Structure 1
Amino acid sequence: MSTSKPPVPVPLLMVIGIVAISFSSIFIKWSAAPVSVQGMYRLLFTSLLMLPFARPYTGAAAQLRLKDWLLLVASGALLALHFLLWMGSLRYTSVASSTMIMALEPLFIMIGAYILFKERNSFLAMLGMAVAIFGVVFIGWGDIGLSADNLKGDLLSVGGTIAVAGHLLLGQRLVVRMPSYLYSLIVFVSAALVFAVYNLITGTAFFAYPAREWGIFVLLAVVPTVFGHILFNWLLQYVSATTVSMNILGEPVGASILAFLLLGEHLSGLQWAGGVLVLAGLGVYLYSGRKKTLELEEALPSAS
């Protein structure tokens, strides 16, 4: 982590990032194109925006092993699966329900890290996970009262969250051997190609869309991806991953407010209760992670 300060205050950049990613679900709801096409062009246009800045990383790319390339493609495939399921969930359930369930991402990562890397967590982290999962049950229960389609959307969002957790676990293993920019670019290109193959197999049209849809594809690439996810990755130079991960709590809140203002979506009492439990559980989980980090830093000998 760099000891220098970014040219813009970190809190302002965090707010910009949270607002940007909160627009993702709104753009998806506005589009009438198949979600596989939305995902393909979102990743393709993001990759094209990144390519002009990729020249310094050609040497690192040449040093990648076959195993690295296979893992990168697997990470891209999981990212594509995440977008396919999560974006698909928004066709059936509310923005609030879908994004609140998506906020469970760090908890699925915790489970995956324990299974794959035997990473252990504190009782406080486990308690936070239990509260958040209980909150998802509340959201699903509230959606059952609306329609079976709402519950289908919730299940798709859960599947998308599991897929992105696998994508991030692979990323955790890969970024120690390559620049994060190179990792992101290769994974985005891989995911776009996976979507292209999927669209070819399913006979989904690539180009027969009005200008409004192409505008939404560009917005998906620029707003939530460049000013959201890539901005958060860049901020890791200046703040801890725990601090950056707080955006996970901000997205469902921001997306729910935008969905109310722009889409007229309303939540039931059970959905509100479930959302509060999810955010409270994640708050406990993130606090436990920050506390563990501080304890480790205090245990290390001073560098002075």
Structure 2
Amino acid sequence: MERSTKSVATYELLYIIGIIAISFSSIFVRWSEADVAVIAMYRLYLTNLIMLPLVWKYRAEMFHLSAKQWRLLAFSGVMLALHFLLWMASLRLTTVASSTVILTLEPVMVMLGSYFIFRIKANRMMLWGMGLALVGSVIIGSGDFALSGDALLGDILSLLGAAAVAVHMLIGKQLRKDMSAFAYNFWVFALAATALAFYNIVRGNSFTGYSSKEWGLFLLLAIVPTLFGHYLFNWLLKHMSAAAVSMSVLGEPVISSLLAWVLLKEALTGYQLAAGALILFGVWLFIRHGKE
């Protein structure tokens, strides 16, 4: 029993570390002066470079995929690339608080997609949560519009980024039935980074010439929010319920907003606090009453 208690405490500590880690993502993006497509590209490429030693262990699976799996992986990768483009661009236009709290609508969008694709229905409490979260998003958008048209555009980009990652998650749910988490993540990251590389070529963005500070931020994005955040949550799915791990989306905007207040000197307005609380409560209600 003592060992079991210690194990639970360890998983809870790792869970908290993961939430803090992903919360630094928006801070690192705001600190960088590089184009957001370059930031996202190197974040993904560097993550895979760090994970490269594990490829040999999964080689049999990774290099024997069907044509259908490759097509779905490519689509999932493009959606992930689009998510990073839209969300990171939103951070250049609106506050960290608004951008990250709107991003928490992802599980709601995943549920909507699941309904239309897999005919999975939501119960009454989930619908209430969905409604509250959407009302909160409208409040944030209207408040940001009163302050600045750019801020509203940033909110819209974050909302579209949440939709893109929801599509990415739905495809991943289908692929993960017959594929390990490592193989899926590695190929999706590689394909997303490559899609961003083509985008950077078309846009004429430079691949080199960045300062040591920029390269450091690219590496920090790969290590902190990606490996100690998203990869860690994937691992915790073996030891914690999916609903519990999904709750991490509620922690990110809270900690990100606090970090932005301390590190970026971003103040939180009354409407952001109220609307943000409404969104977080709505998403919590949605996840809490969701079916495993």
| Separation in structure 2 between the aligned mates of residue 55 and residue 123 of structure 1, nearest angstrom | 47
| Separation in structure 1 between the aligned mates of residue 62 and residue 190 of structure 2, nearest angstrom | 14
1:139 maps onto 2:129 in alignment: no
| Separation in structure 1 between the aligned mates of residue 288 and residue 214 of structure 2, nearest angstrom | 41
Alignment-mate amino acid for residue 96 of structure 2: V
| Separation in structure 2 between the aligned mates of residue 145 and residue 26 of structure 1, nearest angstrom | 25
Aligned to 2:220: 219
Secondary structure at the counterpart of residue 56 of structure 1? helix
Alignment-mate amino acid for residue 41 of structure 1: Y
1:149 maps onto 2:150 in alignment: yes
| Separation in structure 2 between the aligned mates of residue 51 and residue 72 of structure 1, nearest angstrom | 18
Aligned to 1:263: 264
Aligned to 1:46: 47
- How far 1:191 moved relative to its partner? 0.5
- How far 1:108 moved relative to its partner? 0.4
Alignment-mate amino acid for residue 53 of structure 1: L
| Separation in structure 1 between the aligned mates of residue 8 and residue 277 of structure 2, nearest angstrom | 35
Aligned to 1:114: 115
Aligned to 1:203: 204
- How far 1:285 moved relative to its partner? 0.6
Aligned to 1:162: 163
1:179 maps onto 2:204 in alignment: no
Task: Work out whether residues 6 and 238 of structure 1, in 8 Å CA contact, stay in contact via their aligned partners in 2.
Answer: no
Aligned to 1:83: 84
CA RMSD of aligned residues (A): 1.3
Aligned to 1:125: 126
Alignment-mate amino acid for residue 218 of structure 2: F
Name the % identity: 50
Alignment-mate amino acid for residue 49 of structure 2: L
Task: Work out whether residues 135 and 278 of structure 1, in 8 Å CA contact, stay in contact via their aligned partners in 2.
Answer: yes
| Separation in structure 1 between the aligned mates of residue 218 and residue 165 of structure 2, nearest angstrom | 21
Aligned to 1:240: 241
Alignment-mate amino acid for residue 180 of structure 2: P
- How far 1:266 moved relative to its partner? 1.1
- How far 1:61 moved relative to its partner? 2.0
Structure 1: tracts of 5 or more residues without a match: 294-304
- How far 1:7 moved relative to its partner? 9.4
Aligned to 2:56: 55
Structure 2: tracts of 5 or more residues without a match: none
Secondary structure at the counterpart of residue 145 of structure 1? helix
Q: Using a 3 Å threshold, how does the CA distance of structure 1 residues 183 and 6 change in structure 2: closer, same or farther? A: farther
Q: Using a 3 Å threshold, how does the CA distance of structure 1 residues 96 and 237 change in structure 2: closer, same or farther? A: same
Task: Work out whether residues 142 and 268 of structure 1, in 8 Å CA contact, stay in contact via their aligned partners in 2.
Answer: no
- How far 1:63 moved relative to its partner? 3.0
- How far 1:271 moved relative to its partner? 1.4
Secondary structure at the counterpart of residue 147 of structure 2? coil
Secondary structure at the counterpart of residue 221 of structure 1? helix
Task: Work out whether residues 98 and 153 of structure 1, in 8 Å CA contact, stay in contact via their aligned partners in 2.
Answer: yes
Q: Deviations over 1:185-233 (max 9, x none)?
A: 0000001100100001111111121111000000000000000000000
Structure 1 residue runs of 4+, over 6 Å off? none
Task: Work out whether residues 40 and 196 of structure 1, in 8 Å CA contact, stay in contact via their aligned partners in 2.
Answer: yes
Aligned to 2:33: 32
Aligned to 1:281: 282
**Bigger mean CA deviation after superposition, 7-16 or 45-54:** 7-16
Q: Deviations over 1:221-261 (max 9, x none)?
A: 00000000000001011111111011000000000000000
1:74 maps onto 2:75 in alignment: yes
Q: Deviations over 1:24-75 (max 9, x none)?
A: 0000000000000000000000010111012121111233100100100110
| Separation in structure 2 between the aligned mates of residue 165 and residue 286 of structure 1, nearest angstrom | 15
| Separation in structure 1 between the aligned mates of residue 166 and residue 200 of structure 2, nearest angstrom | 24
Secondary structure at the counterpart of residue 239 of structure 1? coil
| Separation in structure 1 between the aligned mates of residue 265 and residue 152 of structure 2, nearest angstrom | 20
TM (norm. structure 1) is 0.93
Secondary structure at the counterpart of residue 237 of structure 1? coil
TM (norm. structure 2) is 0.96
